[in-house]
Copies of this chain bind each other. A is one copy, B any other.
Amino acid sequence: MNKKAKSTLFSIAEHLKLSVSTVSRALNGQSEKYRISKKTTERILKTAAEFNYRPNQLARGLRMRRTHTIGVIIPDITNPFFSEIVRSIENAARKDGVSILISDSNDQTDLERSAVQTFTSRTIDGLIISPIGDESDHISELNQSSVPIVLIDRSFDSLCLPFIGSDNLNGSKEATRHLISYGHRNIGFLQGLQRSSVNKDRVKGYIEALEEAGIQPNHTLIVGDSFGEESGYISTKLLLNSKKDITAIFAASNPIALGAIKAIHEEHLSIPDDVSIVAFDDQSYCNYFSPPLTSVAQQTRDIGSLAYSFLAESVAGITTDAPKNIKLPTKLIVRNSVKNIAYQLNKST
C-alpha cells in the first residue's frame, strides 16, 4: 500500500524475516512440494499482494532461459491479412501469458535479418515468421540454436520447418479457372515478391490452370515485384499500355488489387466491362467496391492460431511427428468484378 518502491523477493523476505528461497517457492506454488506451512505461505502471499510484487521477468528469464516472449516477423503489418494473423496469434499467446515482440520486415532481407538477431539477443522462446524467402542463413542459424520456429504464409524449400499457410497453388488455379470459364484468355498476372514461396505458388497455379485449358501462358503477362499497392499500380499501367489485349487481371494480393484498380480508373477503363479483376485474399471491404471484388479468401485466423499452437508445442518440448506442413484450403468468393465474355470467344487451339 505505502510501498511505492519496487518489490522483490528480497524485500518481501526481509519484511517477513524469511529467506528469499522460501518466498520464491511459495510464490511459485511450490508450498506443497517443499512442505511450507500453510501459515507461512499465506503470510507470504499476503505481503506479496500488499507489496504489489511482480516477478522481474528479466531476472527470471536470465535464470530460466525462458522468457515467455515470442517474436513475430511479418512483411507488412499494414496488410489486413497480416494484422489479422497477428491478432489471432496474440489472442492465443495471451492465454499462455506469452508476450509478442513484433517486427515488420517490409520484405527487406536486411531488416528481417536484423529483427531475427535483435529478437535472439532478447531471448525469445520461439519465432513465427513469414520469411522473405531469398536468404535463410539467419533463420537456420536461429533454428540450430534450438529456438523453435514456425513459418507462416511463406515456406522455405531449403529449410525443413513447420509451416502453416494457404493452399496457394490451388487457390490460384481456381481463380484462374474462373476467369477462363468466363471466356478470358489474355489474363494479366500481377505478381508479388518474386522470390517468395507464396508468389511462386500463385504464379504456378495461374500457369497450370492456363495450360490445363490449352492456353499457352504468355510470360510477358506476368508482371510486378512486390505485394504492395505501388507494384499493383505500376504493373497495371504497364500491362494496360502495352497493347496486350488484356481482358482480365489476377492480382496476387489485396494491396496489389487496390493499386490495379487505381490504375484502371486512371486509364478511364471500367471494371468489369473493359477489364475484369480477381484478387488473392479477401477483405471485408472487397464487398463494397464498385463493383464488388471477386477474390480468394484465406483462413487467416486459423493460420495465426495454428501457428501459435505449433510453436507452443515446440516450446514445451512436445515433438509430435505429425507433419507440420499445413496448407489450408482457400475459397473463391465470386462477386461482380469478372465479366462473362465467353460468347465472343473464338477457338484458337
- For the complex, is A19 an interface residue (Cβ under 8 Å from B)? no
Q: Which residues of B contact A86 (CB under 8 A)?
A: 77, 102, 104
Within 8 A of B (CB), among A270-299: 283-285, 287-292
Tell me how far the C-beta of A267 lies from the nearest C-beta in chain B, rounded to whole angstroms: 15
Q: Which of A25-33, A112-120, A323-331, A338-346 contacts B (4 or more CB under 8 A)?
A: A112-120
Known A90-B102, A90-B104, A288-B289; contact A121-B56, beta-carbon cutoff 8 A: yes
Tell me, in angstroms, the Cα distance from A102 to B258 when the chains sit together.
28
Q: Which residues of B contact A288 (CB under 8 A)?
A: 258, 261-262, 265, 289-290
Tell me how far the C-beta of A103 lies from the nearest C-beta in chain B, rounded to whole angstroms: 7
Contact indicator A100/B99 (Cβ below 8 Å): no
Q: Which of A37-45, A57-65, A234-242 contacts B (4 or more CB under 8 A)?
A: A57-65
Tell me, in angstroms, the Cα distance from A121 to B59 when the chains sit together.
10
Q: Which residues of B contact A99 (CB under 8 A)?
A: 101, 103, 118-119, 122
Tell me how far the C-beta of A224 lies from the nearest C-beta in chain B, rounded to whole angstroms: 17
Q: Which residues of B contact A262 (CB under 8 A)?
A: 287-288
Q: How many copies does the complex hold?
A: 2
Contact indicator B67/A78 (Cβ below 8 Å): no
Q: Which residues of B contact A56 (CB under 8 A)?
A: 62, 121, 123
Tell me how far the C-beta of A214 lies from the nearest C-beta in chain B, rounded to whole angstroms: 34
Known A78-B84, A229-B284; contact A101-B101, beta-carbon cutoff 8 A: yes
Tell me, in angstroms, the Cα distance from A291 to B229 when the chains sit together.
21
Q: Which residues of B contact A97 (CB under 8 A)?
A: 118
Contact indicator B80/A87 (Cβ below 8 Å): no
> A interface, by DSSP: helix, strand, loop or mixed?
helix
- For the complex, is A144 an interface residue (Cβ under 8 Å from B)? yes
Q: Which residues of B contact A118 (CB under 8 A)?
A: 97, 99
Tell me how far the C-beta of A283 lies from the nearest C-beta in chain B, rounded to whole angstroms: 8
- For the complex, is A349 an interface residue (Cβ under 8 Å from B)? no
Known A80-B80, A103-B99; contact A258-B284, beta-carbon cutoff 8 A: yes
Tell me, in angstroms, the Cα distance from A310 to B283 when the chains sit together.
34
Q: Which residues of B contact A90 (CB under 8 A)?
A: 77, 102-104
Tell me, in angstroms, the Cα distance from A123 to B287 when the chains sit together.
44
Tell me how far the C-beta of A124 lies from the nearest C-beta in chain B, rounded to whole angstroms: 10
- For the complex, is A17 an interface residue (Cβ under 8 Å from B)? no
- For the complex, is A6 an interface residue (Cβ under 8 Å from B)? yes
Within 8 A of B (CB), among A53-96: 54-59, 61-62, 67, 69, 77-78, 80, 83-84, 86-87, 90-91, 94
Q: Which residues of B contact A120 (CB under 8 A)?
A: 54
Q: Which residues of B contact A102 (CB under 8 A)?
A: 86, 90, 100-102
With A78-B80, A99-B118, A229-B284 already in contact, 20 other A-B pairs whose C-beta atoms are closer than 8 Å: A4-B145, A6-B145, A55-B121, A56-B62, A58-B67, A58-B123, A69-B101, A77-B86, A87-B104, A90-B104, A94-B111, A97-B118, A99-B119, A100-B102, A258-B284, A258-B285, A288-B290, A290-B290, A290-B291, A290-B292
A-B contact pairs, 19 of them (CB 8 A): A54-B121, A56-B121, A58-B61, A58-B122, A58-B123, A67-B122, A69-B122, A77-B83, A77-B87, A78-B83, A78-B84, A78-B87, A86-B104, A100-B101, A258-B284, A262-B288, A265-B288, A283-B285, A288-B289
